Structures are given as C-alpha cells and as structure tokens.
C-alpha cells in the first residue's frame, strides 16, 4: 500500500496540536506532533516529513528562527506552512524570504487547513519529480510492442505491481530494465510517491554510504536517496556493482525496514519498495563469494526476466515507428519511413545492444538521412555490415573512417577502453589509473559505451581484432 503523507505539527499549545492532528488524521494523513523546536528537530531526525506546520511563537525558539536554522543546515526538508496568531508583516516577510510556503492564521479554519496542506503536498511532489527529471537524461520510456513476449511481460508487470514486494529485474544491458521498474511503480499503489533511481556503479565508493543512507551530526540531517524514496520506490540499477559493505547495509535496511544514517545512532523508519536490476547472474556471483547470499534472496522475492530484443522480432516495426516519432518530436528531426524490406532486415538482426542499440540506430538514421525513406544501404552501413570502410590505420584497427567525427570517436574510445580493461585484468580501479580518469566518470563512460567491466574483454563485447 502507498504510505500516507506525513505531516509534522509543531506548536506549543496542546489543544492546537490535538485539533490539527484529529482533522488531518480524519483525512488519512499520518501526523507527528512536536511541542517545541527541540522536539521538532528530533521528529525530523526520526522520519522525514512531507509537510511541516510550524508555529511562529514558541517558548524555546521561535518558528522563524527554526526555519532559518533548517535553511542554513541543508535546506528545508519539505514545504513549511507557518501558523500565526499575531504575526507582524516583518515576521511574514522574513519567513517568506526563508522559504515558508504559506501561512495559516489562528483560530484555524478546517477548510483552509486542508486546502493549504493539500496544495503544499502537491508542490512538494512536483518539486521532487522535477529534481528527479533534472538528474536524468531524457529517454523514451513506454512499454512498446504487441508481440507474445511483451504481452506476457506486461501481464507479469500488472500482477506484480499489485503487491508491495521487492522485485529483481534481470536482463541483458540495454533491454530497458529501468522502464520496467517505472512501469511497476506507475501501476502500483505507490504511484503518487517518488521514484528514485540509484545507479550503483556511478556512485563514488568513498561517498556511496552517505549518498544512499544520508548523514546526521550536531549541525543537522542530510537525507540520503533511500529516505528520498520514502512512500515510493527505490530503483537500484545494477545491484551487483555494490561493494560488500554496502551489500551488508542494504540487506539490513531491507530486513529491518529502517536505516541508520552515517554518524547517527538511532534507526529511521523506511517505507519504500526496492526494485533492483542486474545484467549479471547473481546466483553465480553468490557461489563465487562476490555477492551476499542473504541479500540475493531478499531481492529475489519476485524475479522478473526481461527478454532481449532478438527474441522480440515481431515488435521491431512498432519499435521503429515509436522511436522515430519520439526523436522527431524531441529533436525536431525530419520524420522518415522504414519500408517493409528494411523492417524485415532489422527483424532478423541480432541486436547485441538491445533497445539501446535500436534507439541509437533510429536517431542516427534520422540525423544523417536526406530522403523520406530509409534505405537498406543506409541500414547496412549503420550496422557495420556494409558501406565503404577505409583501410585500417595502425593502432586504430576496426575504426570506420566514413563515420561522422563524434561516432568515430566513440568507436575509438570503446576499442581503447576495452583494450586497456583487458590489460588491467578486468579491474576498473587499475583501468582508472591507466587511463587517468576519476572512477565515477569512468563508470559512466563504460556504461555509455556498453562496456561491462565484469565480462572478459573479448567475450561478446566486440573488441576490434587487429
């Protein structure tokens, strides 16, 4: 079930607190009460609220000062609504400058209370969604395809989404595992909550625990990605990339439904569905001692296999139309048709890069094409099985010199990094030193180039052979 929105009410008057709590609980909200600034700090430490109702006048520290304190120590936790019985214009101006979302005057009107809280919750939700969108590269995200494999997958998603269990999405790189996770979220009772993506391989090891689990000290609280997913879904991309310490902590969080922030001592309740994804055989990694067995079984409560694109030949025409529309609209590119002959050629292509490769192919053909219809010759050249290829130059074997500069550079970077990864024995740490890149940036580069550091360099990764 979706978690109820959590409202923290901070007021030194017991009757006010009790009245507001009764009103909000009748409307289905979860309510925490605090009679002072100190109690408000503790309530916020225990669990992140979705909205705060904050009295301006309190005995130990006034609400505006607490608002200022939160602002100076990492920003407001959520929309804050000020409660005022006899505030001045100066007080209202200062609270607004510090980020107060709205004001409610005493005596409190039930209708206004519910209206303002509802609007504040919606504003907070939109802000989280916008922040999430800014962290992502835009990409098409619909479950496209009417073939048998996709029909079966959609039926599984609908069935699994109705239950609030953990899910392990398994599939080759580029098969759209995050799209599957978003579909599970959008069809679940948590759909109004946040969807937070954690790319395990892109988080620097030194700061990974802080980014995931947050931190707290005498100066305040920093909410990690797990807490940001409260009430919604946490999508953990390529869970096999987590180091042993993080695997242990994740296992503890799933088991206890609570986490302990870095520097903290008290557990913080967590209400988020965890959907993990991997392109690896976690069972084999467990047997090899590279993945914790208890975490494996915690994540694999409901396994969901995503078929590779080579098993979805019937979906190719539909996928081509969908992605052509998408890129034409997003990038203002000229629309191009894929004739039946071209569709048939692509239906029988092996698609080693899966959906990611198909998206790149469609985008390339729209950018470089000059006619209304895509030709077989263009497709063969784009797939690397046809077209003029310049003679190889020593040191850059396999590079297609007929490509535009950016694509040729990507081809070279992929060959170069695969060679260096092979020389480093598959160690990303050694690779980072050899090529002079910071590990976080290197992981992103490897992912962009479809290089799996756990796979032997010449095993299915297309290393150019001299």
Query: What is the reported pLDDT for 405?
Result: 61
Residue 236's beta-bridge partner residues? Answer: 198, 276
At 336 the three-state DSSP class reads coil
pLDDT band at 253 (very low <50, low <70, confident <90, very high): very high
Across residues 34-40, what is the average pLDDT? 91
Is residue 308 predicted with pLDDT exceeding 90? Answer: yes
Is residue 146 predicted with pLDDT exceeding 80? Answer: yes
pLDDT tens profile 188-212: 999 988 999 988 877 777 788 888 9
Comparing 19-33, 40-54, 251-265, 397-411, the range with the smallest average pLDDT is 397-411
pTM (predicted TM-score):
0.60
Q: What CATH architecture is 311-387?
A: Orthogonal Bundle (1.10)
Residue 302's beta-bridge partner residues? Answer: 167
Q: What CATH architecture is 6-134?
A: 3-Layer(aba) Sandwich (3.40)
CB burial of 299-325 (b: ≥16 within 10 Å; e: otherwise) equals bbebebebbbbeebbebbbbbbbbbbe
Token pair listed for 92: 């209202």
pLDDT tens profile 418-437: 878 877 777 887 787 777 77
Is residue 128 predicted with pLDDT exceeding 80? Answer: no
> Residue for token digits 């629309």?
335
Whether 131 and 223 have beta carbons less than 8 Å apart is answered as: no
Query: What is the reported pLDDT for 134?
Result: 44
Is residue 147 predicted with pLDDT exceeding 60? Answer: yes
Is residue 463 predicted with pLDDT exceeding 50? Answer: no
- Which of the following CATH numbers is that of domain 391-466: 1.10.20, 1.20.272, 1.10.10, 1.10.287? 1.10.10
Structural domain spans, the chain: 6-134, 148-307, 311-387, 391-466
Q: Which residue has the higher pLDDT, 198 or 410?
A: 198
Contacts of 185 (CB under 8 A, 6+ apart): 161, 191, 195, 232, 233, 235, 273, 275
At 33 the three-state DSSP class reads strand
Query: What is the reported pLDDT for 136?
Result: 45
Helix pair angle (148-161, 177-186), 10° resolution = 50
pLDDT tens profile 59-87: 888 888 888 888 777 667 789 999 887 66
Q: What are phi and psi of 8, to 5 degrees?
A: -100, 120
Token pair listed for 401: 């010199």
Comparing 42-46, 200-204, 209-213, 360-364, the range with the smallest average pLDDT is 200-204
Residue 177 to residue 187: CA distance in whole angstroms: 16
Is residue 415 predicted with pLDDT exceeding 90? Answer: no
Share of the chain above pLDDT 90, in %: 47
pLDDT band at 122 (very low <50, low <70, confident <90, very high): confident
**Domain 6-134 identical in fold to domain 311-387:** no
Q: Could you please state the CATH topology (level 3) that the domain comprising 148-307 is classified under.
A: Rossmann fold (3.40.50)
Share of the chain above pLDDT 70, in %: 86
Query: What is the reported pLDDT for 5?
Result: 87
Give the chain's mean pLDDT.
Answer: 84
pLDDT band at 138 (very low <50, low <70, confident <90, very high): very low
Comparing 210-224, 262-276, 307-321, 414-428, the range with the smallest average pLDDT is 414-428
Query: What is the reported pLDDT for 180?
Result: 95
Across residues 142-163, what is the average pLDDT? 92
Query: What is the reported pLDDT for 454?
Result: 66
Residue 304's beta-bridge partner residues? Answer: 169
Comparing 120-129, 169-178, 400-409, the range with the smallest average pLDDT is 400-409
pLDDT band at 91 (very low <50, low <70, confident <90, very high): confident
Query: What is the reported pLDDT for 133?
Result: 46
Is residue 92 predicted with pLDDT exceeding 80? Answer: no
Residue closest to 375 by CA, chosen among 404, 407, 341, 403: 341
């Amino acid at each position: 079930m979706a978690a109820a929105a959590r409202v923290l009410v901070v007021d030194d008057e017991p009757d006010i607190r009790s009245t507001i709590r009764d009103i909000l609980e009748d409307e289905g909200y979860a309510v925490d009460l605090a009679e002072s600034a100190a109690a408000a700090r503790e309530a916020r430490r225990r669990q992140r609220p979705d909205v705060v109702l904050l009295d301006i006048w309190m005995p130990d520290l006034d609400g505006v000062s607490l608002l200022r304190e939160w602002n100076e120590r990492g920003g407001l936790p959520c929309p804050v609504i000020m409660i005022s019985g006899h505030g001045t214009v100066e007080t209202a101006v200062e609270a607004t400058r510090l980020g107060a979302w709205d004001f409610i005057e005493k005596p409190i009107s039930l209708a206004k209370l519910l209206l303002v809280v509802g609007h504040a919750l919606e504003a907070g939700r939109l802000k989280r969604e916008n922040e999430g969108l800014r962290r992502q590269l835009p990409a098409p995200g619909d479950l496209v395809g009417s073939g048998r494999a996709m029909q079966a997958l959609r039926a599984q998603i609908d069935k699994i989404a109705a239950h609030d269990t953990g899910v392990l999405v398994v599939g080759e790189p580029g098969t759209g595992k995050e799209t599957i996770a978003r579909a599970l979220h959008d069809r679940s009772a948590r759909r109004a909550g946040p969807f937070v993506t954690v790319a395990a391989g892109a988080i620097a090891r030194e700061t990974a625990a802080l980014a995931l689990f947050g931190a707290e000290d005498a100066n305040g609280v920093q909410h990690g990605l797990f807490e940001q997913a409260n009430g919604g879904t946490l999508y953990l991309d390529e869970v096999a990339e987590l180091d042993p310490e993080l695997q242990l902590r994740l296992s503890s969080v799933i088991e206890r439904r609570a986490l302990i922030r870095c520097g903290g001592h008290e557990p913080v309740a967590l209400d988020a569905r965890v959907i993990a994804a991997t392109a690896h055989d976690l069972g084999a990694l467990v047997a090899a001692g590279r993945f914790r067995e208890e975490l494996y079984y915690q994540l694999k409560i409901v396994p969901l296999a995503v078929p590779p694109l080579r098993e979805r030949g019937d979906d190719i025409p539909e996928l081509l139309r969908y992605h052509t529309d998408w890129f034409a609209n997003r990038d203002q590119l000229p629309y191009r048709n894929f004739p039946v002959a071209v569709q048939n050629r692509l239906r029988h292509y092996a698609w080693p890069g899966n959906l990611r490769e198909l998206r790149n192919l469609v985008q390339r053909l729209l950018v470089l094409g000059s006619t209304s219809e895509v030709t077989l010759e263009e497709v063969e050249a784009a797939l690397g099985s046809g077209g003029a290829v310049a003679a190889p130059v020593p040191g850059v074997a396999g590079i297609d010199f007929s490509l535009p500069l950016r694509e040729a550079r990507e081809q070279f970077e992929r060959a170069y990094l695969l060679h260096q990864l092979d020389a480093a024995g598959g160690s990303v740490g050694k690779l980072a030193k050899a090529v002079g890149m910071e590990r976080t940036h290197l992981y992103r580069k490897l992912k962009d180039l479809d290089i799996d550091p756990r796979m032997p360099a010449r095993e299915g990764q297309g290393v150019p052979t001299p």
